[in-house]
Amino acid sequence: MAQTHSILVLPGDGIGPEVMAEAIKVLKAFETPSHKFELRQELIGGCSIDATGKSVTEEVKQAALASDAVLFAAVGGPKWDNARRGLDGPEGGLLQLRKAMDIYANLRPCSSSSPSASIAKEFSPFRHEILFGSGKDGEAEGVDFVVVRENCGGAYFGRKVEDPTYAMDEWGYSEAEIERVTRLAAEVALRHNPPWPVISLDKANVLASSRLWRRVVEKVMTTEYPQLKVVHQLADSASLILATNPRSLNGVILADNTFGDMISDQAGSIVGTLGVLPSASLNGLPGDKSLKTRPYGLYEPTHGSAPTIAGKNIANPVAMILCVALMFRYSLNMEAEATRLEDAVRKVLDKGLRTPDLGGTMGTKELGDAIVAEL
Ligand code: NAI
Ligand code: MG
């Protein structure tokens, strides 16, 4: 049966339009009689401020809620830095969109094997054995995990007191908030072959919110996902393990907003460059029975708008292109295509075809073409 996937495309500012053009080129290479893509392109960030006075319009938010997935590149730049802040500034457009979609889980995959093994080998500050193990087939047993970070609650959204001599951030979670992100982490674990363990981070030894976190994660995992392994790991020791033996954390690393923020940035150091790291923000996965709306997914690279290299055809499009693979996997039920795309990216990088940020000489467009040719 032919399926048409509606995708909202938000290139944004700086290098955003350049890397997005390559992602769309790659996406179109997957069009078949059974999978069609209906693309709608809209403004967000600085370009939206210039055109409409707002960092994101109501119409674009509605378009996001009506689409099967959103591809977002990057927003912001010096042009808007001093004039606007908060929700009115370029990044405010993204924050407003995240809120409208209630995308409460942020996923950041981190893998030293497919698709960025050769990049990790050259650019990671980690030693080869730490990344890949010492086995002959080490690469297959390399670092491979996904951080699932709760993204709409906790300390970043709690009540605040800000007096001259005292300040307070309320770090609170409800049972329902913990349940939904745990289910999502478990569903991500199930999509991996073989199923991944869920490694939940907390500070149950000192924080009340962490004690609830641990209790609810344990309850959801044992009652709803008895087939999956669950591990509770203190967040501080997890960060030590990530620096010394990251392969022992292979699986889904589930964390609240604060610990998740820290561990996902630390995880970014494993591959050693921002230009190849995609991310996904989700409010659930297709088939999730607890969802009250349709599943929403927004896919964005972890880098920003890199204004100093914009317009020169030198930006690395790999992170944005890998967002397409994540979109296939988590929003469009196209796992085979996700893997095929990741393999093609890996082969191209392994051949040494790279943009200048990774020591190569390829242009943005030429690298996109090479990935399409590899497919
Ligand atoms: P950035 O990620 O844009 O750049 C950091 C460094 O990495 C720069 O040297 C840049 O040239 C390089 N870089 C980033 N992406 C690259 C790519 N794809 N290929 C090659 N090199 C790449 O972060 P920065 O410089 O802190 O911020 C620049 C602007 O982007 C600011 O206006 C910031 O507010 C905005 N920003 C937007 C984000 C978003 O839209 N989600 C996230 C982070 C920053
Ligand atoms: Mg951060």
Domain-ending residue, one of 251, 271, 291? 271
State yes or no: pLDDT of 250 exceeds 90: yes
**What pLDDT does residue 135 have?**
59
At position 27, the amino acid (one-letter code) is: L
Residues ≥6 apart with Cβ < 8 Å to 8: 40, 42, 60, 63, 64, 67, 69, 70, 71
Same structural domain, 145 and 240? yes
Q: Is 117 domain-assigned? A: no
Long-range contacts (CB closer than 8 Å, 24 or more residues apart) made by 180-183: 180/104, 180/284, 180/290, 181/104, 181/105, 181/148, 181/150, 181/254, 182/216, 182/217, 182/220, 182/221, 182/254, 183/220, 183/224, 183/288, 183/290
State yes or no: pLDDT of 270 exceeds 70: yes
Q: Is 113 domain-assigned? A: no
Domain count, the chain: 2
Question: Is 75 touching ligand 1 by the criterion CB < 6 Å?
Answer: yes
Share of the chain above pLDDT 70, in %: 96
Same structural domain, 152 and 261? yes
Same structural domain, 259 and 284? no
Q: Is 224 domain-assigned? A: yes
**What pLDDT does residue 172 have?**
97
Domain-ending residue, one of 244, 271, 298? 271
Measured CA distances, 334 to 28, 240, 339, 371 (Å): 14, 35, 9, 18
Same structural domain, 63 and 183? no
Question: Is 118 touching ligand 1 by the criterion CB < 6 Å?
Answer: no
Q: Is 362 domain-assigned? A: yes
Does the annotation count 13 as an active-site position? no
Question: Is 275 touching ligand 1 by the criterion CB < 6 Å?
Answer: yes
State yes or no: pLDDT of 138 exceeds 90: no
- Which residue has better confidence, 207 or 81? 207
At position 264, the amino acid (one-letter code) is: S
State yes or no: pLDDT of 180 exceeds 60: yes
State yes or no: pLDDT of 126 exceeds 60: yes
Secondary structure (3-state) at 220: helix
Same structural domain, 283 and 247? no
**What pLDDT does residue 116 have?**
62
**What pLDDT does residue 261 have?**
92
Ligand nearest to the CA of 106: 2
State yes or no: pLDDT of 290 exceeds 90: no
Q: Is 42 domain-assigned? A: yes
Question: Is 354 touching ligand 1 by the criterion CB < 6 Å?
Answer: no
**What pLDDT does residue 305 have?**
96
Same structural domain, 168 and 96? no
Q: Is 187 domain-assigned? A: yes
CATH of the domain at 61: 3.40.718.10
- pLDDT band at 237; cut points 50, 70, 90: very high
Measured CA distances, 321 to 24, 37, 126, 188, 260 (Å): 8, 16, 25, 20, 24
Same structural domain, 168 and 244? yes
Q: Which atom of ligand 1 is nearest to the CA of 19?
A: 18
**What pLDDT does residue 128 have?**
78
- pLDDT band at 114; cut points 50, 70, 90: low
Q: What's the whole-model pTM score? A: 0.92
CB atoms within 5 A of ion ligand 2 belong to 261, 265
Mean predicted lDDT score pLDDT of the chain = 91
Same structural domain, 258 and 335? no
Domain-ending residue, one of 241, 271, 301? 271
Residues ≥6 apart with Cβ < 8 Å to 212: 173, 175, 178
Q: Is 114 domain-assigned? A: no
**What pLDDT does residue 211 have?**
98
Containing structural domain, residue 35: 1-107+279-375
Catalytic residue among 54, 79, 121, 203: 203
**What pLDDT does residue 82 have?**
77
Long-range contacts (CB closer than 8 Å, 24 or more residues apart) made by 259-264: 259/201, 259/202, 259/203, 259/235, 260/106, 260/147, 260/148, 260/149, 260/150, 260/151, 260/201, 261/149, 261/156, 262/235, 263/147, 263/149, 263/201, 263/235, 263/238, 263/239, 264/106, 264/108, 264/147, 264/149
Same structural domain, 182 and 251? yes
10 Å Cβ neighbour count for 206? 10
Catalytic residue among 13, 68, 256, 261: 261
Q: Is 120 domain-assigned? A: no
Same structural domain, 36 and 150? no
Same structural domain, 98 and 193? no
Same structural domain, 129 and 78? no
Q: What is the pLDDT of residues 142-177, one digit of tens each?
A: 888 999 999 999 998 889 999 999 999 999 999 999
State yes or no: pLDDT of 331 exceeds 70: yes
- Of 169-178, 284-293, 322-331, the range with the lowest mean pLDDT is 284-293
Q: Residues 249-266: what's their mean pLDDT?
A: 95
**What pLDDT does residue 319 have?**
94
Q: Residues 2-21: what's their mean pLDDT?
A: 96
- pLDDT band at 115; cut points 50, 70, 90: low
How many contiguous H segments (helices) and E segments (strands) does the chain have? 14, 12
Share of the chain above pLDDT 90, in %: 74
